[in-house]
Structures are given as C-alpha cells and as structure tokens.
Structure 1
Amino acid sequence: MEALIGRTVEAKILSEALESDSPELIAILGRRRVGKTFLIRSTYRKQLLFELSGADDASMGEQLLNFSKAMGSALGLPMPIAAPRNWTEAFWTLQEFLAPIVKKKKAVVFFDEFPWLSSRKSGFLSAFGHFWNQWGSQQANLKVVICGSAASWMIKNVVNNKGGLHNRLTKKIRLLPFTLYETELFLKSKGVNLDRYQILTIYMAMGGIPHYLKEIKRGESAAQCIDRLFFAKDGSLANEFPNLYRSLFEHADRHISVVRELAGRPSGMTREEIITACGLQSGGSTTTLLQELVESGFISAYVPFGKNANESIYKLSDEYTLFYLKFVENSRAKGSGTWLKKSAMPTWRSWSGYAFEGICLKHVKNIKDALGISGVYTEESAWRHAPKTGKGAQIDLLLNRSDMVISICEMKFSSSEFVIDKAYATELREKLNIFKSESKTKKSLFLVMVNTYGLKSNINSIGLVQNEVTMDHLFIP
C-alpha cells in the first residue's frame, strides 16, 4: 500500500482514538476525492476487521448483499454468507462477529459512503443507532469510523442528529485538501519534480485534491498538465464540476448558484448579498446551505475587522471551482496549447491574483511563522469600506496582534520579483490611511507584502513595506 503523505494532525487524532480505553465513534467529513478512505485504510490497516462501502443509488437488497460479501471476507470465507433480511439482522450478525474479538484486542469497523447505505425507508440509520447505543458504546476496544462525501446528509443525520445518534460522536474530522507542503511531498513521492512556482500554478488550478494530483505526469510542465486535464478531448477534470457538486449535495443547483456568484465577486459577499443575488430564502435553509459549502471546503467565512460572526464575508475558496468557471465552462478553445494561449490573456491576471489570495488565506499560519509572530495572540480578519461617496478600500487579510500592531497583508502573484510603482505606492498609503481613520485603531500598522518571488526594493517600497513573505514560506510545514 502507498505511504500516507501529510495528514499528520488527522492521523494523530485517529491513532489517539485507537489507543484510548473508551469506545469511539468517529465521523470523517470531506469532499469527493479528498482522500478519506485512504486515510482510514492507511492508519488502521492492522486493526481494520470489517469494512463496508455504500453503493450509489443501490436498493436496500443490493446494499445488504454487499454487507454479506463484506462479512464473508471478514470471516475469511471463500463465499459470502447469506444476505440478511434487513439492517437490524445485519447489525446483529456484525455484533456476533465482533463480540469475542473486542474482548481481547482493539478492533476497527469502517463504514465508507455512509449516506448511500441509508437508502430511503431502509431502516439503516435507526438500526445502526441501536447497534451503537445498545452494544457498541459499551465496548472499550471498539472503534467505529463512518465516512461520507455527501456533506448535507452527514451534517443533518450524523453531526446534528436529533435521534439515536444525538451527541454520540466522540471525534469529528473535517478532511481538507492538501496544503502546499503536502502537495509538494505528494508529487515528489510520485517522482514528479517541479519547482515551487510550477506547483503553485497547478495548485491554483486544481487545489490540493490528491485524486486530481495523481493525474500529473513526470516530465510535464504545469501548462502541459493543465492543458491535458482541463482542455483535452477526454480531460479528466473537464467534466468533473457537475458530478462534484451533485455527489455532495441533495439540492446541488442552489449550491452551484452560490459558488457562481462568489466566483465573480473576489471581494466576497455577505449572507444577505448572497440571498439577494441567488434568490434564496432568509432562514435556516440558507444557513444550512452555507454551512455545507464551508464544511466541504468550497467557501470560507471571514469575520470583518470590528464586526461579529453575523456579518461574515463569504469567499469562494475552492481552486478547482474558480478555475473551471473562469476558463473551462463555455470555453470554445480546446486541445494542446489552449492554456498557454489563455494564460496570455488579461483574464489570466485577474484570476491569478484572486487564486493566489485564496491560497494565502489558507496558509495564514505560514505567514504568521514567516513574520515571527506565531507565539503572539492574533485575530485574522478581512475589512472593507464602501462609502456611497468618496474613496473606498479593501483589505483581504489583516492580522490584529496583541502586541499593539496590525499587519496589513497585500498578496500579489507574479512570475518574477514584484515591483511597487508610484501609483500602487500611493494606493497602498491611501488604503492604510482610510483604515486608520475608519477603524479608529491606536495600533501601529505594518504593511506586509506576500509575493511569489519577493519584492524588488526601490524608492516606492522603502519606508512603506515593513515585512515580506515569499512563496517559499507557504511551502513550510
């Protein structure tokens, strides 16, 4: 089996759960292709006694037949056992199998694609709840892991369950895409040797999704890779978009409408702005929709400086979605060389800036480490001022520090050292002055430039920029 790359925090949580002297019911949430199954099999391969994966759109009879095959495999039988008549009988069979084992040693039971097992009127969820409450929750050596890509179902029926599974979870893991550091490790493990600018470019197009990254070939540049995966006739990522959202959400059209709106609004949108733009209802259903998108890693919520969580700004944070909507959907250009042509167009500049900002926002810890403030209590936020008259200003990332400093981060993507010209220097000074005036802060303002290759020192940057962070800092673990 391939080695597990990265995932140190998640693997530690799972290992600690295995070592605990209490029964564990662990839920893992994450979008399609993010590596949930691989994480479980890698971490628990020696203790995994029973594994059952739900089948998409299968009947209860078909799911129970798969259960009988999985049980036959767990028992080491050459043939599956007789299929149980219902899920109550199936879990009784599972209990009989596990009972003598968990008296002696640790045992892991893994239900993959948990939502698909719970087909309509199947009784699966209630049978599972009874199995856990009446028996499993009393077995100190038993560790049950449930996993599912369908975020809306998992949140409603597992995380926020009001019935038999209410407050029964002992651990919840939200598995997100690879960081830049993990992406670099993963590619190296596959023998793909690209410099960090090339890796960053690929990440900007497809994010840190392991299943997507597997498709990158040795000896292929970032541009060649993007050409083949997105624009070739049978490119594996050219038609991923609709399947991705519909596999995760029950009413995917509403989720897609939200990400479409956010894709065209780099500054982000408030909840009320999203409701108006997408024609949604103001209420619990919209709250749930936004929560599902956040939990799945497609959008992120940022609390504006000086505001509370009710005034959060939502931004599209999924690189693949942004790239697809910007360059792939409705694109007439196809075939080899398409991306090289598109990357020379003006739209590339706006996309690259937006995508790079989003990546920086996911790597704030790296930025803080680079600034030497990892030990300083810091609140991260965004800020924008949009008056009806006069000049407005926007800050995508500010670090409000307890040492009486606010770091104002400007994030700029470029293929060489970034140069601050006179006009941009004037814009930055105005932004700092507007923020100082509107926020009424007494703290010192430090301007931080976050760039790919750093900042070219000149008369415009001296005395204006206090700190620099480069692309390399974002790759540090």
Structure 2
Amino acid sequence: MKEIIGRKEEKLILERTLKTKEAELIAVYGRRRVGKTYLIRKTFAKHIIFEFSGVHNATLKDQLTNFRDTLADVMKVSVPIAVPSNWGQAFQMLRNYAEPFLDKNKCVIFLDEFPWLSSAKSGFLPAFEFFWNSWGTKQNNLIFTICGSAASWMIQKVVNNKGGLHNRITRKIRLLPFSLTETAEYLKYNNVNLDHYQVVQLYMALGGIPQYLKEILTGQSAAQNIDRICFTKDGALQKEFGNLYQSLFTEADKHISIVRALGAKPAGLTRKEIISECGLSTGGTTTLLLEELTESGFISAYLPFEKNTRDSIYKLSDEYSRFYLKFMENSRATGAGTWIKLSASPSWRSWSGTAFESVCLRHTKEIKAALGIAGVYTEESAWRYVPGKGQPGAQIDLLFDRKDFCISICEMKFSNSPFSIDKGYAAELINKRDVFANRTKSPKTIFIVMVTTFGTQDNSYKIGLVQNDIKLEDLFR
C-alpha cells in the first residue's frame, strides 16, 4: 500500500523539482495537523540532508541552540560545535555543511514551522533572505523547502514578500484537508473499514485532518470513535480547540471570536455583520483577521450570485471547530456514551443538516461531475434575499451558474434513509426557485438539484420539480 494517500498534484510538484537544473525554493503551508511535514518527508525521504523545526514561542537563544544541536547530530561530530550568536552565523554553518553534498547530488534542506523561527527581533528573515540570495540561488542541486502552519504569515512574509524574497519562491503548495475519498482511503490504509455513511459522520465532526483521523480505531462505529476521541477525559481532541488557534495566531482571541460568531450563524455572515457581531474595527485589522483565517482553512468566503467580493459571505468551514462549539465546549455530559446519547437528540438532527451542507461545499468538483458538467465552465456562488415586510425571502447555499445557459440550484439534505419531499418542502423549493428567478431576472433555465445521503424518494412532489438526484456515494468519486 502506498505511504502517501491522495496528494497526487502536490506530490508531482515536489517530484518535478528533483529533475530541474536550478535552485528551488518551495513554500508549503496549510493548517495545523493537515500533513505538510509528512508529505515533504515521504516525498523527499532519500534526498533530505538537513531538517530543522522551529519551536513555538521559544527564545532566540533556544532556537539557535536547537539548530546547533540538530546540525551537530547530522554531522556526527565528536567535538562540540559552538552555538551561533545569530541567524547569519547559523546559515553560514549550514552552508559549510551542505556544500560537499551539493557538489554530487540533488539535496533537500527542510525548515519546518518556518514562522516560529522568525520571532520578534530575531533577525531570522533578513538573514535567510541574504543566505538565499547570496548563496542558495546559485546552487543548482539545492531544493530548499520551507513549511508553516501559520498560512497567512507564509503568504504575507514569504510568498508575497516585497523585500529580499520577492519572486524568489519557485513553487508553492497550499495543503488542504483530505476529501471524502481520501479520508476513506486513509482509513482503509489503517485497516478501518466503514461504509460511506459512517465516514461522512466522522468527516462532519473531525474533517479531513490526517492527524485526527489517525485516532480512529478499527471495529468501532463512527459514533463510538467520536465518543472516545472527543468526550472521554483522555480523548485526543478534548483540548485541541484552544491549542489550535493559540499556536497559529498572535492575537488568537480575535480569531476565535470570529470563529464563534460564524459557528453560531451556519448561513454565514458578511464582513459588515462580522464586525458588528465581534465588535471589531472597520479598518485593515478586520481584513487581516479574515485573510488569516481564510488562508489557514478555518473559514471560507462565498461570493454571492452576481455580486463582487465586497459582498462575500463568510462561513465556518473547519469541521472540528464547528463540532466543538456546538457539542463539546459547554457540554455537561462527558465520558463514554456521551456522543451516543447526543447523536440521538433534536439538536444533532439540526446540526447534521448544516454540517452536511458544509461537506458538500467542500466537494463541488464531485457534484459537478455527478451532474455531468465537469467540462462546463461554471461559477459557484451562494444567494440570499432578505425581503421587506410581507414579502417571501429565500436562501441558496450553493448554485452553479453555467456557461451552457443553465443554473443548477443545489439543496443538501442529510438523513439516515432516502429523503422524502412532502407538500410543505415542495412549496419551499418552488418559492426558492421563483424568488431567485424574479429577483435576479436571470433568463437561464433553472434546475433544482437534490444532494442527499441515500437519494430522494420518487413521489408526486419530486417528479417535475427535481431535475437531478445526487447521492452520498457520488461525493466519494
């Protein structure tokens, strides 16, 4: 069985650098525990000559001491090496060590948790800029890979650097969580055999984060696994929420306040609404907070139909954060059996609907393929109309505006059996379609698409109203 699950495009990007005839500077970023380090180590296993990781909130002296110790270990020296007094000296030591290897073969130097090395007044980033520009760019056999969980920092300070690293990044990879297909493949690799319905339940609570999925045990149902991981005293994710944001953001409380606000509003909030809910300023600080959360994969911005980015609707897209805020944070019940009980409650049924919608929004590529429009150019968007008094309103969480002069409106429903459209829901669908057509004045043909776990039952309300019926299994393709 292959050691790297999924990650086909990302692996190809890394492997291509082994065949180039010039120096490569690769930036890999993505949220904590998504598998960045694993991908780099496994792909470059035979080529890494030096690997070093920053430590969160460590002093400059401690970072430099750790660097010295790591270098001494790979050099296998018997005489102790002096601790460098600054990062300029540290990179000179790295250069002296690497040069003999680079004369012969393609070599990888890997600095993990790169942002943590660049603490205030450390001088790390200017030293690295000088090191790379004066020496690294001339080493045709060098692949220098930098990695960080603080995705926004990586984007602002490295990828979009306006100083010495401007346009120096040769490849960049934003590593995203596993898809449903990759999640099922990863579980199978770990000898966990669950059907699609069980896998999607895990995904709605934990997301496609490899480190979380690693905790899933064979022979246990999705509910049993969630129960053990999230609600027992030694559960792996009991304390994850606080650690998750504090380790990535300097002012984590502000980020968490936005996450909380979006967690309480599954339909999403505009930038203006977020500012109001969280008591934030209207300036660049809010913009930066939203960018940092978006780049790190915790929230997503959805462009409303025929609107510009200023009108974007933000939603909480991190499954674990949504699950934690709803069920874990203020839960009176803890211990074995907690989730088994909670998952039978009315609040779970309500939550599962919005959680499944979020999963579907992550898998629009698969929905398009199931609709047979994978090759048709589409623009994905959301839409909502808040009416005046006495007027009907409507909200659409996902629609495909298609170049073949059609619009597909997607309705997403989670259930443990085939979904049945009754008279009331049929009227709701008709109202949603008609309000959208009347308010947007779109001349395109409008299709209603049902995306459900086990399909939609054929009855008099479905016939003539629903044009496409997509099942959970389609999201795994």
Q: Tell me the TM-score normalised to structure 2 length.
A: 0.97
Q: CA deviation at 1:163?
A: 2.5
Q: Counterpart of 1:160?
A: 160
Q: CA deviation at 1:2?
A: 7.9
The equivalences for 1:13-52 within 5 A come to: 13-52=13-52
Q: Counterpart of 2:368?
A: 368
Q: Counterpart of 2:129?
A: 129
Contact 1:203-1:319 within 8 A present in 2 as well: yes
Q: CA deviation at 1:55?
A: 1.6
Amino acid in structure 2 at the alignment position of 1:414:
S
Contact 2:152-2:296 within 8 A present in 1 as well: no
SS at match of 2:247: helix
Q: CA deviation at 1:286?
A: 1.1
Amino acid in structure 2 at the alignment position of 1:405:
C
Contact 2:303-2:313 within 8 A present in 1 as well: yes
Amino acid in structure 2 at the alignment position of 1:420:
I
The equivalences for 1:228-377 within 5 A come to: 228-377=228-377
- The reply on whether 1:388 has 2:393 as its aligned counterpart is no
The more displaced of 156-165 and 261-270 is: 156-165
Hey, what's the Cα distance between the residues in 1 that align with 2:16 and 2:293?
29
The more displaced of 431-440 and 94-103 is: 94-103
Amino acid in structure 2 at the alignment position of 1:434:
V
The more displaced of 123-132 and 159-168 is: 159-168
Amino acid in structure 2 at the alignment position of 1:408:
I
The equivalences for 1:161-200 within 5 A come to: 161-200=161-200
Q: Counterpart of 1:419?
A: 420
Hey, what's the Cα distance between the residues in 2 that align with 1:262 and 1:241?
15
Q: CA deviation at 1:229?
A: 1.0
The more displaced of 17-26 and 444-453 is: 17-26
CA distance change for structure 1 residues 323 and 239 in 2, over 3 Å: closer, same or farther? same
The more displaced of 165-174 and 184-193 is: 165-174
Q: CA deviation at 1:70?
A: 2.1
Amino acid in structure 2 at the alignment position of 1:255:
H
Q: CA deviation at 1:152?
A: 4.1
Hey, what's the Cα distance between the residues in 2 that align with 1:474 and 1:93?
50
Contact 1:70-1:80 within 8 A present in 2 as well: no
Hey, what's the Cα distance between the residues in 1 that align with 2:66 and 2:329?
38
Hey, what's the Cα distance between the residues in 1 that align with 2:77 and 2:371?
59
Q: Deviations over 1:276-333 (max 9, x none)?
A: 1111111221111111111111111111001111211111111000000000011101
The more displaced of 169-178 and 325-334 is: 169-178
Q: Counterpart of 2:140?
A: 140
Contact 1:114-1:148 within 8 A present in 2 as well: yes
The more displaced of 422-431 and 24-33 is: 24-33
Hey, what's the Cα distance between the residues in 2 that align with 1:263 and 1:56?
27
Contact 1:55-1:116 within 8 A present in 2 as well: yes
Hey, what's the Cα distance between the residues in 1 that align with 2:98 and 2:234?
46
Hey, what's the Cα distance between the residues in 2 that align with 1:100 and 1:436?
68
Hey, what's the Cα distance between the residues in 2 that align with 1:184 and 1:138?
43
Hey, what's the Cα distance between the residues in 2 that align with 1:18 and 1:362?
32
Q: Counterpart of 1:204?
A: 204
Q: CA deviation at 1:12?
A: 1.1
Hey, what's the Cα distance between the residues in 2 that align with 1:79 and 1:275?
58
The equivalences for 1:110-129 within 5 A come to: 110-129=110-129
Q: CA deviation at 1:412?
A: 0.3
Q: CA deviation at 1:76?
A: 4.0
Q: Counterpart of 2:215?
A: 215
Hey, what's the Cα distance between the residues in 1 that align with 2:158 and 2:59?
21
Unpaired stretches in structure 2, ≥5 consecutive residues: none
Unpaired stretches in structure 1, ≥5 consecutive residues: none
Amino acid in structure 2 at the alignment position of 1:421:
D
Contact 1:152-1:249 within 8 A present in 2 as well: no
Q: CA deviation at 1:103?
A: 3.0
Hey, what's the Cα distance between the residues in 2 that align with 1:276 and 1:166?
36
Amino acid in structure 1 at the alignment position of 2:393:
G
Q: Counterpart of 2:99?
A: 99
Q: CA deviation at 1:80?
A: 5.7
Amino acid in structure 1 at the alignment position of 2:425:
Y
Hey, what's the Cα distance between the residues in 1 that align with 2:114 and 2:295?
17
SS at match of 1:19: coil
Q: Deviations over 1:149-189 (max 9, x none)?
A: 12343233223333222232122211111111110011001
Q: Counterpart of 1:453?
A: 454
Hey, what's the Cα distance between the residues in 2 that align with 1:194 and 1:366?
20
The more displaced of 144-153 and 204-213 is: 144-153
Contact 2:304-2:312 within 8 A present in 1 as well: yes
Contact 1:71-1:80 within 8 A present in 2 as well: no
Contact 2:184-2:199 within 8 A present in 1 as well: yes
Hey, what's the Cα distance between the residues in 1 that align with 2:366 and 2:333?
37
The more displaced of 432-441 and 52-61 is: 52-61
- The reply on whether 1:474 has 2:475 as its aligned counterpart is yes
Q: CA deviation at 1:13?
A: 1.2
Let me know the Cα RMSD of the aligned residues: 1.5
Amino acid in structure 2 at the alignment position of 1:145:
T
SS at match of 2:379: strand
Q: Identity rate of aligned residues, in percent?
A: 60
Hey, what's the Cα distance between the residues in 1 that align with 2:20 and 2:356?
41
SS at match of 1:248: coil
Amino acid in structure 1 at the alignment position of 2:25:
L
Q: CA deviation at 1:375?
A: 0.6
Q: CA deviation at 1:456?
A: 0.8
Contact 2:204-2:359 within 8 A present in 1 as well: yes
Amino acid in structure 2 at the alignment position of 1:261:
A
